[in-house]
Amino acid sequence: MLAYILRSLMQGLVVMLAVAFIAFSMFRFVGDPVVNMLGQEATLQDRAELTERLGLNDPVPLQFARFVGDAAQGDFGISYRQGRKVSSLILERLPATVELAVLSAIFAFVLGVALGVYAAIRRDGWIANLVMSLSLIGVSLPTFLIGIGLIYIFAVELRWLPSFGRGDTVALGWWTTGLLTASGLKSLIMPVLTLGFLQLTLIMRLVRSEMLEVMRADFIRFARARGIPERRIEFRHALRNTLIPVITIAGVQLGGVIAFAIVTETVFQWPGLGALFVNAVQFVDVPVMSAYLLFVAFVFVLTSLIVDLIYVALDPRLRSGNPAMAK
Amino acid sequence: MKPRFLHVAAILLGVSTLALGAAEARPLKWAAAGDALTIDPHGQNEGPTTSLNQHIYESLTERDHAGKLLPLLASSWRVLPDDPTTWEFKLESGVKFHDGAAFTADDVVFSYERAMQPTSDFKGYLTSVEKVSKVDDLTVRIKTKGPNPLLVNNTSSIRIMSKAWAEKNGATKAQDFKNKEENFAVRNANGTGPFTLVSREADVKTVMKRNDAYWNKAKVPLEITELTLLPIKQDATRVAALLSGEVDFVQDVPVQDIARLKTQPKLRVNSGAENRTIFFGMDVASADLKGDDVQGKNPFADKRVRQAMNMAINRPAIQRVVMRGESVPTGVIMPPFVNGWTKELDAAPPTDVAKAKALLAEAGYPTGFSTTLHCPNDRYVNDEGICQAAVGMFGQIGIKVNLVSQSKSIHFNLIQKNPAETEFYLVGWGVPTYDSDYIFSYMYHSRTGSQGSWNATGFKDAEVDAMIQSLSREVDIPKRDATIAKLWTRLKDETIYLPIHHQSLSYAMGTALDIPVDVGNNPKLKMVSFKGS
């Protein structure tokens, strides 16, 4: 078991290095940071000097080696855009993104499973049909439009919820939370709905089809033949078997939600990592971009490792022998 | 019961307004598309950064919303009668920094020296300066390398910080990005300005409160008690925040929302010209272009081709369709507030497709040619839309244009590379010194190490260069203005740039406010006074 985790971590490290290198070699297509860092009065000499000072004249592999060397010591450099340490920028923005992502994942999972089960059991009911049709809209509408639509209904017309930002936050050590203030909670509602909506519809449709599949399986028929009550069959036997693939998907999705909350964060001016990254790309803030992409790779490596472990816990067959082989 | 209650309430209200006096004081929430990058006064010479910093730090002089130069920390100035290379500034007395320290000549000398250091982004304004020295506590002299009759125009950009404060906090230089430590001045401030910094979260919000000990209180309304800057990047969200009353003042109103906001009874929209002109530039010097289909020749090198293209652009159509009326078509790459601007220069050639075609045929391109246009898509108002419209217009005279739109970080790099990596491009230019010399030196002077850094056209004319250089030395103002006029006549005829329009700006706000559009797009919120209730 321990050997398996260690091996996964080693693989993760290789993945992160590869991501970092690909990202790094692509940065020169994003533009030249020097253009943004100097005012329009800058002379050709000024630009040459700053380029030299930032080490941008060095070959890409050398720049990359320097970056990895510094990163290994926890030093991600200083943001070109804000003149602040990248590590503290990321730590400052992390709580906002994590709270948003975790809440929307919970929202999507709980409601998605409930609606999916309902739609599977009452397959022909009109509510189930309505939910299924609505979920199609959820899959096809871009996140951006959902966000703007919510803002216009709940912020501009009804004035119930704030249209942007995170509201008041409370600091718990270095972590800031919006969960402890009224304005913080109100600010969370629309971004959570927006970010969770696509996940919700995906999980719901997945649960429904898996459940329908399982309900046709032999063991359900045997259970029925034994006269076990229908409710018990549905929730005890069918749902449990349905959830294994759903949890896998939801777990991987959580990583994606944390990493790519970019659109939602931009629409709601949510001060998270996604917004930080968008600004960094526009400014060609290379230190922030590299650190962010490394962070995203880390999140994916971590979530897939955790999902693997949950898999092992859920499926007894994987526990004996080499789990990686059993897959 | 009810009417009596109202009556009592009215009296109470009356009493309370009396107690407060005529001026109402309120907090103000200000939304803009971008946040300041730093609050270091010499760190970044960039619009949103200046917009914020000017409320905390002040300069020797300031520009009002129309661009007029006014005294601020300096009460008066002059060129020494016996030495045309030395400017003398008399400073205001009784000025205090936010930490209570007195403002003196030492702070001015220190700040100018800080702004001239290699890591400062404002050194470009002070390249002509040789030495800044203190005469007494309230007098400063700036010695220039040669006579510089316009130095005072640049002083409105150089903000003054406290020497003692900067030294105490190790912030005697602007942020050096090679250095891995954050400079103290990036997030802390101590100026002489009308607002003091309370808290700052970059890209989230910056809170300032009124400086009740402001030295210049008698001359400005200063009615905002608490000023909060809220950057909201997304256009629709920014407008929604104004409509829902969460913010009071929006600086960057998207063009497509102006008409709708104007119909709102509780909102006011102010529009006006910005100090920025949008135009195309082209490579007139290379022997052969890479991005065209003409072999062995550069069509842009022929003035007739450039004139034909200038005639092909339908400026009123761009103004009406692309800009929804929010621009001023022009025939010169100089905003109207700039010294040297005249109505005659501003007149654009009328659109004339037939004549343009004839000119092209005369130049040897009866069937036109194809070329590549580079355009930014995130810098100016509807920049990509302008290019798309122009592509169609050039198509009408047979010039097939392949459009490449990309982010400003890539686009500006093409222009600034030496030699430039674009042969046909869109660019905009603002003139912070309000003098033609600024346009000439960056846009028309041939590329040398220090001049012509934005002249990607390859245009090079020794006579023009000499005239441009003479401007920075000429102390006789009428003579200087005559040279400027001569240069413009000559350069407008060269048509190395195709002017489109002066960009307009719109500010939207609640009806209690009436903030005029600032030509530099740095609204001066100390001037805000609230109207009615």
pLDDT given for residue A313 in this prediction: 72
Report the distance separating Cα B435 and Cα B340, nearest Å.
7
- List helix spans (H) across B233-382: 235-243, 255-262, 303-312, 315-317, 343-346, 353-362
Nearest to A241 by CA among A200, A210, A218: A210
Most confident of A45-59, A231-245, B185-199: B185-199
| Tens of pLDDT, residues B421-461 | 999 999 999 998 899 999 999 999 998 877 888 999 999 99
**A57 touching chain B per CB within 8 A:** no
Compute the nearest-CA separation of B109 from chain A (Å): 22
Of A31, A45, A159, the CB nearest to B413: A31
Selecting from B203, B241, B451 the residue whose C-beta is nearest the C-beta of A275 gives: B203
Closest A-chain CA to B126: A41
Size of interface A-B (CB pairs under 8 A): 160
- Higher pLDDT pick, B422 / A317: B422
Instruction: Calculate the alpha carbon distances from A111 to A114, A179, A193, A247, B28 in Å.
Output: 5, 20, 11, 14, 41
The residue type at A25:
S
- Asked if the model's pLDDT at residue B353 lies above 50, the reply is yes
* Contact residues on chain A for B241, CB-CB shorter than 8 A: 155, 163-164
Average pLDDT, chain B: 91
Of A80-94, A153-167, B13-27, the one with minimum mean pLDDT is: B13-27
* Chain-chain contact of A83 with B244 (C-beta, under 8 angstroms): no
| % of chain B with per-residue pLDDT over 90 | 77
Task: Name the residue facing B449 among A44, A84, A152 (closest C-beta).
Answer: A44
Nearest to A269 among B124, B233, B378 (CB): B233
Residue A301 phi, psi dihedral angles, 5° rounding: -60, -45
How long, in residues, is chain B? Answer: 533
- Percent of chain A at pLDDT > 90 equals 28
Across the interface, do B245 and A83 touch by the CB < 8 Å criterion? no
Question: With b meaning 16 or more CB within 10 Å and e meaning fewer, what string describes B341-365?
Answer: beeebbebbebeeebbbbbbbebeb
Cβ–Cβ contacts within 10 Å for residue A60, how many?
A: 14
Chain A residue with the nearest C-alpha to that of B40: A83
Closest residue, chain A, to B430 (C-alpha)? A40
Quote the strand ranges of A114-236, DSSP E: 170-172, 175-177
- Which chain A residues contact residue B43 at CB under 8 A? 83
CATH 3.40.190.10, applies to A86-326:
no
What's residue A314's pLDDT? 67
Q: Which two tokens stand for residue A272?
A: 């998270």
CA A36 to chain centre: 29
**Helix ranges, A73-181 (H):** 86-121, 126-140, 143-150
pLDDT tens track for B3-46: 444 444 444 444 444 444 445 789 999 999 989 989 999 988 88
Between CA B200 and CA B202 the distance in angstroms is 6
**Cβ–Cβ of A269/B237 closer than 8 Å?**
yes
Q: Do B409 and A32 touch (CB under 8 A)?
A: yes
Say what angle helices A273-283 and A86-121 make with each other, to 10 degrees: 130
Overall average pLDDT of the A234-260 stretch: 80
What is the spatial distance between Cα B178 and Cα A50, in angstroms, rounded to a whole number?
Answer: 9
Would you call A282 an interface residue with chain B, using a CB distance cutoff of 8 Å?
yes
CA-wise closest residue to A19 among A298, A277, A308: A298
Q: Would you state the structure tokens that stand for residue B427, as one six-digit string?
A: 């660019």
**What pLDDT, on the 0 to 100 scale, is given for residue B246?**
94
Helix (H, G, I), strand (E, B) or coil at B507: strand
Q: What is the DSSP pairing of strand B267-282 with strand B424-429?
A: antiparallel
Task: Considering only the beta carbons, identify the residue of B181, B244, B409 that sits closest to A30.
Answer: B409
Interface contact A50, partner B, CB < 8 A: yes
Q: Do domains B26-266+511-527 and B274-504 have the same CATH topology?
A: no
**A234 compared with B198, residue with greater pLDDT:** B198
> For residue B374, which of B416, B341, B415 has the smallest C-alpha distance?
B415
What confidence tier does B519 reach under pLDDT thresholds 50, 70, 90? very high
* pLDDT tier at A318, thresholds 50, 70, 90: low
d(CA A225, CA A219) in angstroms, rounded, equals 10
Fold of domain B274-504 = Dipeptide-binding Protein; domain 3 (3.10.105)
Enumerate the residues of chain A whose CB falls inside 8 A of the CB of residue B236: 148, 151, 267
Pairing state of beta strands A175-177 and B69-71? unpaired
* Mean pLDDT score, B344-354: 94
Pick the more confident residue, A50 or B79: B79
- Evaluate whether B488 touches B332 at the Cβ level (below 8 Å): yes
Q: A42: Cβ–Cβ under 8 A, 6 or more apart, which residues?
A: B121, B124, B453
CA B259/CA B267 separation, integer angstroms = 12
pLDDT band at A319 (very low <50, low <70, confident <90, very high): low
Q: Are B246 and B419 in contact (CB under 8 A)?
A: no
C-alpha dist (Å) from residue B429 to A81, B277, B285:
22, 5, 22
Torsion of CA B435, B438, B444, B449, to 10 degrees: 160
Q: Cβ–Cβ of B449/A156 closer than 8 Å?
A: no
Query: Minimal CA–CA distance to B525: which of B237, B254, B228?
Result: B228
Q: Which class for B438: exposed (0-12), middle (13-18), buried (19 or more C-beta within 10 A)?
A: buried
pLDDT computed for residue A1 by the predictor: 67
Which residues does A232 contact at the CB level (< 8 Å), separation at least 6? none
Residues B105, B194 contacting (CB under 8 angstroms): no
Decide: helix, strand or coil at residue B30. strand
pLDDT for B23 = 53
Q: What is the ipTM of this complex?
A: 0.84
Contact B409 A77 (CB under 8 A): no
Whether B410 sits inside 8 A of A30 (CB atoms) is yes
Other CB atoms within 10 A of residue A100 CB: 29
Q: What is the pLDDT of residue A315?
A: 67
Q: What is the 3-state secondary structure (H, E, C) of B376-433?
A: ECCCCCCHHHHHHHHHHHHHHCCCEEEEEEECHHHHHHHHHCCCCCCCEEEEEECCCC
- Greater confidence (A131 vs B385) lies with B385
**pLDDT tens digits, residue range B296-334?**
899 999 999 999 999 999 999 999 999 999 999 999 999
What is residue B435's DSSP assignment? B
CATH 3.40.190.10 fits B26-266+511-527, yes or no: yes
What DSSP assignment string belongs to A44-77?
HHHHHHHHHHTTTTS-HHHHHHHHHHHHHTT---
Query: B494 or A2: which carries more pLDDT confidence?
Result: B494
- pLDDT > 70: what percent of chain A? 95
CB B145 within 8 A of CB B113: no
Nearest-Cα residue of chain B relative to residue A30: B410
Residue B392 has which token pair? 């169609």
Nearest to B65 by CA among B532, B530, B528, B531: B528
Using only the alpha carbons of chain A, give its radius of gyration: 24
C-alpha torsion sign, points B424, B430, B436, B439 = negative
pLDDT at A256: 77
- The minimal CB distance from B124 to the residues A42, A279, A284 is found for A42
Q: CA angle A39-A43-A48, nearest 5°?
A: 100
Residues on chain A touching B118 (C-beta within 8 angstroms): 49
Report the length, in residues, of chain A.
327
A164: which chain B residues are within 8 Å (Cβ-Cβ)? 230, 232, 237-238, 240-241, 246
Give the model confidence (pLDDT) of B278-300 as tens digits.
999 999 999 888 888 888 899 99
Rounded to the nearest 10°, the torsion over CA A264, A270, A275, A276 is -150
* Alpha helix stretches (DSSP H) within B21-104: 47-53
Residue B514, both tokens: 């009436």
Interchain CB distance below 8 Å, A165 and B204: yes
The reply to whether A213 touches chain B by the CB within 8 Å rule is no
Q: Identify which of B100, B35, B49, B53 has the alpha carbon closest to the alpha carbon of residue B197.
A: B53
Whether residues A39 and B121 touch (CB distance < 8 A) is answered with yes
pLDDT band for position A140 (cuts 50, 70, 90):
confident
User: Do the chains contact at B232 and A164, CB–CB below 8 Å?
Assistant: yes
Q: Does the pLDDT of residue B508 top 60, yes or no?
A: yes
Residues of B in contact with A28 (CB under 8 A): none
3-class DSSP assignment, residue B176 = coil
Query: Would you list the domain boundaries of chain B?
Result: 26-266+511-527, 274-504
Per-residue pLDDT at B292: 84
CB contact under 8 A, B124 and A43: yes
- Tell me how far apart the alpha carbons of residues B187 and B41 are, in angstroms, rounded to a whole number: 11
pLDDT given for residue B392 in this prediction? 96
Average pLDDT of every residue of chain A: 86
Given this model, what pLDDT does residue B8 score? 45
- pLDDT at position B55: 97
CA B452 to chain centre: 19
Nearest-10 Cα torsion for A210, A214, A217, A220 = -170
Contacts of B410 in chain A (CB under 8 A): 29-32
Q: How far apart are CA B84 and CA B144, in angstroms?
A: 9
Name the residue facing B38 among A42, A82, A148 (closest C-beta): A82
How many Å is the maximal CA-CA distance in chain A? 86
The answer to whether B180 contacts A77, with C-beta atoms less than 8 Å apart, is yes
Q: What band does B219 get if pLDDT is binned at 50, 70 and 90?
A: very high
State the Cα–Cα distance between residues A89 and A273, nearest whole angstrom.
9
- Residue B206 pLDDT greater than 60, yes or no: yes
Return the DSSP state at B339: B
Contact B92, B73 (CB under 8 A): yes
Instruction: Supply the pTM of this predicted model.
Output: 0.86
Q: What digits encode the pLDDT tens for the residues A173-191? A: 889 999 999 999 999 999 9
**pLDDT at position B123:** 87
Question: CB of B519 within 8 A of CB of B60?
Answer: no
**Rounded to 5°, angle at Cα B214 from B31 and B98:** 85
Round to whole Å and give the CA distance between B144 and A296: 52
Report chain B residues whose CB lies below 8 A from the CB of A267: 234, 236-237
Q: Which of B244, B378, B429 sits opposite A163 (nearest CB)?
A: B244
Q: CA torsion, points A68, A69, A75, A80, in degrees to nearest 10? A: -60
Is A186 part of the contact surface with chain B (CB cutoff 8 Å)?
A: no
Chain A residues with CB inside 8 Å of B408's CB? 31, 35-36, 282
Contacts of B449 in chain A (CB under 8 A): 43-45
